[in-house]
Chain A
Amino acid sequence: MLEIKNLHAKAGDKLILRGVNLKVGAGEVHAIMGPNGSGKSTLAQVIAGRDLYEVTEGEVLFEGKNLLELAPEERAREGIFMAFQYPVEIPGVSNLYFLRTALNSVRKHRGLEEMDVMDFMALVRERVKLLGMNEALLERPVNEGFSGGEKKRNEILQLAVLEPRLAILDETDSGLDIDALKAVAAGINAMRSPERAMIVVTHYQRLLEYVEPDFVHVMADGRIVRSGDKQLARELERQGYAWLEEEAALAQENRA
């Protein structure tokens, strides 16, 4: 479904991704771990099309299409969804209205009719229940005045309503207490399906206790330095990231 080849990207003059290779197939859940500054969030944002980053080398194919040629909204309509690490507030715009506009722009792209209000409400209510969310949040402005946990859960609600082919979760576990974490994980698990791929970006192994990944990748210094199964995540939890930094330092010396 997703194929990343030798991806290099920079922010300003700073090279952040230094040759990322990754293949993600339908139905798979990949976890990307790594210390702060290793480039894992940048990778998520580059896939979503954030223009703060400039791709200098490499390619990203999504269902065989060159993703890097598409605008962010086109990627979204093709079925790529990113749950934001810091969900953005949009004052005065109701959460429901935002969600419906988003859903209809995706549906339109897929040649489907706009969903009418009744059907939409039925769908949203069902998903809200599934996530154990407070229905009152639907009428409030997008993320405005939401607690950290509410914001993250709202991201998962959007994921559940938009039903993307590929979901990228950027540090969705950060800042959550254990109850919120469990709720968010339950939402993510409910969205796992043989047709859908997921990339879970996280610093800690914590979330992976509840969302079991098929593959775990470790990033350091802008590259994937180690790949394995869920055992790798546990190993990291025990050892920390210090050994990686030593390896990275060595790699840097070799480059120099």
Chain B
Amino acid sequence: MSTASQEIQALTQQEYKYGFETPIEIEAFPPGLNEDIIREISARKHEPKFLLEWRLKAYRHWLTMKEPTWANVKYPPIDYQKIVYFAAPKGWKKGPKSIEEVDPELLRTYEKLGIPLHERERLAGVAVDAVFDSVSVATTLQEKLAELGIIFCSFSEAAEKHPELVERYLGSVVPYTDNFFAALNSAVFSDGSFCYVPKGVRCPVELSTYFRINARDTGQFERTLIIADEGAYVSYLEGCTAPIRDSNQLHAAVVELVAHDYATIKYSTVQNWYPGDKQGRGGIYNFVTKRGKCLGKYSKISWTQLETGSAITWKYPSCLLIGEGSVGEFYSVAVTNNHQQADTGTKMIHIGRNTRSTIVSKGISAGHGQNSYRGMVKILPGAENARNFSQCDSMLLGNQCGAHTFPYLEVKNPTARVEHEASVSRIGEDQIFYCRQRGLSTEDAVSMIVSGFTRQVIQELPMEFAVEAQRLLSVSLEGSVG
């Protein structure tokens, strides 16, 4: 191996920064899953009756399903009876509360993660819902948003205060029958964020949820539901981290978005779950179903994701383009280093006339990482003049990693136009030497080359997070070319 490769390899071996554990007393259910556990979760949250029934239906359906095996990932079988389905800081009580009532240990945790919840230190222009294990522990800026008629709260709070909205939209985009992990989530979901932006309102701040898994052997099953009514606009961002553990933990979330006429939802993810160690021990299994419904005419849903964490990522944020002239977008950067595996992409289902979609996927593999893009573009017979453009680029750092592309195209309307471009490149010793000859260190060279490769996607992130994303990207790759 040349010295440049050795240096690059040293560079990508950085430690996970968010691996600390919060010393807080946790109240958790015993491991295992049955109808009593589900009843207990629902009772803890004082849920309306329809919700418990929906959970039980989902559970009974889940029992009839098999775990999917089509993804290009490998992992030992998961024992669903060994997972803890509910964990919360001791003494946690449901409902909104002022920051003063939140356990200072929790506030310190979020501070350490760079998400201060106190009024005076908060990020300007961002409202945060903080989800810790199975519960939401704080939501900021709620009153300010309420003045505009915007509802932004934990899912539990929404179920209690706005049951009509929850009942109308829950499962309307991702039914509990959709897939194995969505069914499991529907049965046991514990918390998540809920957002409703009323007619004609443009949400003036970024809404964000910060997910933190802390408790051992616990699964996190959150559910997020965002509705943008006619002409509304909302930009939402989620971030995720977890402590370093030897064992794998399951995170199976469901996100549903609904955009009515002329509404726009921009959904961004910066996913940095614990990826496991260099030998591939531990890490989060991130098995997530995300889907948006462009229900109304000229509505728009845009997904942007930066996936740097998790041992395994299995997710396909998708758009159902129903309304005439509606637009779906998917911008993704997925990084796999060490033994990480990612099978990610999107589905764009064109149903209405003149619908348009854009897919830009950038996969980066380093170490022994395996990175697959899997995307489907489906043009149904009614989708006159539908347009799709897809671009999938992969970059390999080193020669033990892999990049795979699985595009599926299904076009049933002759007026449709679908374009697909794909490329694979190896970060060249040539490129690195060129940069070094101009005075850049190997580390700066790699980070510059990677940031150039991903720029098209990163610039889609809200400005407040783009800088952080850039930094996270270079940290995830520190130590990785070889």
Contacts and interface: CB of A to CB of B under 8 A. Distances in A.
Given A51-B2, A84-B434, A102 B439 contact: yes
B2 A91 contact: no
Interface string A199-242: 00000000000000000000000000000000000000000000
B251 to A, nearest CB: 31
Interface of A: 48-52, 71-73, 75-77, 81-82, 84, 87-93, 98, 101-102, 105-106, 109, 141, 158, 162
Contacts of B3: 51
A92 B448 CA distance: 9
B448 A98 contact: yes
Interface of B: 2-4, 428-431, 433-442, 444, 448-449, 451-456
B431 A90 contact: yes
B448 A76 contact: no
B437 A82 contact: yes
A72 B430 CA distance: 13
A170 to B, nearest CB: 11
Name B's interface SS.
helix
Which 8 A-B pairs have CB atoms at the shortest separation, nearest pair first? A92-B452, A93-B452, A102-B438, A105-B439, A88-B434, A76-B439, A72-B436, A92-B455
A71 B436 CA distance: 9
A162 B451 contact: no
Nearest to B449: A90
Nearest to B430: A88
Nearest to B3: A51
A91 B456 CA distance: 11
A91 B362 CA distance: 13
Contact of B444 (A77, A101, A106): A101
B448 A90 contact: yes
Contact of B436 (A52, A76, A87, A89): A76
Nearest to B455: A92
A52 B1 CA distance: 10
Query: Considering residues A48, A52, A76, A93, which has the most beta carbons from chain B within 10 angstroms of its beta carbon?
Result: A93
B387 to A, nearest CB: 25
Contact of A73 (B428, B431, B440, B449): B440
A102 B451 CA distance: 16
Nearest to B454: A92
Nearest to A93: B452
Given A51-B2, A51-B4, A101-B444, A92 B437 contact: no
Given A102-B440, A106-B439, A158-B438, 15 more contacts: A51-B2, A51-B3, A51-B4, A72-B437, A73-B436, A75-B437, A81-B437, A87-B434, A88-B433, A92-B455, A93-B451, A98-B448, A101-B448, A102-B439, A109-B439
